[in-house]
Structure formats: C-alpha cells, structure tokens
Structure 1
Amino acid sequence: MTDSETAIHSLWHLLSQITAFTFQAGNGEGSRTDWNGRATGQVVVTPWEGGLSFAESGQYTTPHGQRLAMSNRYGWQRGEQGIRLCHLRFGSPVPLFELVPVTAHRWQSREPHLCGADHYRAELVLTGQGFDVEWVITGPRKNERIAYCYRI
C-alpha cells in the first residue's frame, strides 16, 4: 500500500468514529459579512451514497451572546487521490473539493471550490482524538476563516 493509500484508509476509518464538533468562525480585513461566532454540537454519522454523511446539530453563539439552534450536513466519499467533501443542501449534494494527503497527518483541498466569485479552500490536520479542518473563504465581499474541530 502506498503512503497516500495508507493516509486515505486511516482518515476514512476515523471519519466513521466522529461524534462531536466545535467551530469558531471569524472574518478578516475587507470582509463585508458578519460571519463571527462559535458553535458546538453532535455529529451523527450514517451511510450515504457509498460514503458517509455527517449530520451536525448543535448551538451557534453570536459575538453578542445570542444562542441559536443550528444544523448542517456534509457528505464524505473516497476518491482516487483523496477524500471528497460535499455540502448536502436540501437533499442535493454540492461538491466542495477533494482533500488530498500532503503528509501522513495533513491534507489540503486539491483545488479551490468556486461559488460565484468566492473561493473556498480547506486544510485538514489529524489530531489524537479526531481532526481539525480550517476553511478559508475569500472573494470580493468575503474574507472568512472557519476552524472546525471534529472529535471521537
């Protein structure tokens, strides 16, 4: 088995064990959005189209302390070079990108996801009890970072 195949196998095994998440969202200089806050919640992993679905539910807290119920759903599938990530919106998958191993513990999006003029990129780092994913979203109105922590 090649190093890449070993990395894909290890991450795939870990994905099925995830039970919780947190994230911190913030915008940078030049952003015209108000995407700031943090969330915490549970992840329910189920089979989905030959891959896995992450159904996230929890609580989002705004910078002003307002707490809101939140949910999100992602799909993960094995690809030829890595693991593909989709946002599952309204029952239709929106392909985001394929994460490919850079080292045994670090992954990067192979190409950015384009949504209009916005570019979405991600980096995944394995940790002792799960993995972290940092999203970077840039565009004419956006300069955001979302730091997800997924845990077993």
Structure 2
Amino acid sequence: MAPTAPRAVVLLPIQPQYATPILNGLKRVEFRKRAFRREVSHVVVYSSSPVKQVVGFFEILGIDEAPPAQLWRRYSRQGAILKEDYDRYFSQSDEGVAIRVGKVHVFQKPFPLGDIAPDLRAPQSYAYLSADDFTKIRGRRALVT
C-alpha cells in the first residue's frame, strides 16, 4: 500500500470583516470560488488590508463543492455574510466552495507575512505553505477558540 500524501497548509487572505468572525467563532464556513488543488488540513488566516497581518489559523473540518445556491441553503447561517454580498461574490460563478472551519487558533499578537519568510507576499487567492513555515506559525502563542 502506497503512503498517503501529507495534507497541505494554505495561506488564505481574508478581508477583516470576515476574518474577525472566524477568529471569534461566529463564522464557521469560509466561501470561495475555487477549490484547492491539494488536500488541505489547515488554513492560515491573513487578514488583508488594512490589517495586513497573520491573525490565526484553523483546522479544516471539510470542504463542500456545489453551485452557490446550494451552498447558501446549506451554510448561510454559518457564513457570516449578507445574502447580497454573497450573491455579488458568486455572480459570475457556476460552482463554489464552502470551507468548514474547525478548531481556531488566534494569535495573541498578529504578525506580518515577513515573519514567516522574508519574501512571502499576500497571494491573490491562496498559497501553499511549507511544513517548516507552518511549524514556525504553530510555535507562536495562540488561544484556541
């Protein structure tokens, strides 16, 4: 039997209005237009402008791919997003993704991407992180919510 490939970790830029509810435990699903290309175990949350800091990470409970209308019916109560904003986000998409948020680790002191790797920049969509980078991130003081 061949060994299974290790699951990946992604850096995901999230607007502060959606990152904060994830950290507070109010947003249990993150919506995206496209699925990851690899199997992913954790998401490192980069709160985008104006915060521009790594604020925490979460374990993925599961990923659901479906048309946006179906995702809304399944996860609207957990998504912490207004219906009109959701519809605008998915207006040109036939498929969508719901990333189910598991255990959340909130950093006591958020930090810039350069603390992970000097040349790391915020990705447009997402970026895979190395195992060494994730080890550095997990070593920071975090509260579990």
User: Which structure's residues are more often strand, by fraction?
Assistant: 1
- Bin of the TM-score, shorter chain as denominator length: under 0.3
Higher helix fraction (1 or 2): 2
Task: Give the TM-score of the pair, scaled to structure 1.
Answer: 0.27
